[in-house]
Amino acid sequence: MTRAVTSWDDEFTHVLWRAQNAVHRRVQEALDELGVTATQLGLAVHLEQLGPLSAADLSRGFHIAPQSVGTALSRLEKLGWVSRRAHPVHGRVVLYELTDAGTERTARGKKAMSAVNVAVTADLTDGELSALLEMLRKITTRIDGPDSPVTTAWPIRP
């Protein structure tokens, strides 16, 4: 499909970039009191949902660079949100898991993100929001492939 050439400011990638930056600023403002980034909170949420995982599992599962995951987990560990332990079967693998403090702070972070979500989508109807989410998922799937369950590469039991 050939599309007409438009100005830089009207290109999808530019409009999406501007929207992403605007939303990112709102998200970061909401998370400032917790001292974490959206990526750090996202990793904590997934550890809460999925249980202990290695940095490699998180990197693979969410298409985040291994270095970014390592940096994020180090920060969460310094803040007391996560702890690490050796894998019970494969001792060289390090598993990260939420601490009690991390669970409480993750809940606060999810609440802050919900408030941001309401604020940034306030001008959209339910139908518009559903359509937008579906289109963004379609783009993401085209680039990254379909979501697959995040699992540990190393089984916990022998």
pLDDT reported for residue 155: 64
Q: What are phi and psi of 37, to 5 degrees?
A: -95, 170
What are 63-114's pLDDT values in tens digits?
899 999 999 999 999 999 999 998 877 778 899 999 999 999 999 999 999 9
Q: How far apart are CA 85 and CA 91, in angstroms?
A: 9
For the chain, domains (ranges, CATH) are: 18-142 (1.10.10.10)
**Per-residue pLDDT at 157 exceeds 60:** no
Model's pTM, two decimal places?
A: 0.86
CA distances from 81 to 45, 54, 68, 99, 107 (A): 11, 15, 17, 6, 12
Tell me the residue type at 36. V
In the block, tokens 């993750």 appear at 106
Closest by Cα among 76, 71, 55, 78 to 150: 55
53, β-bridge pairs? 96
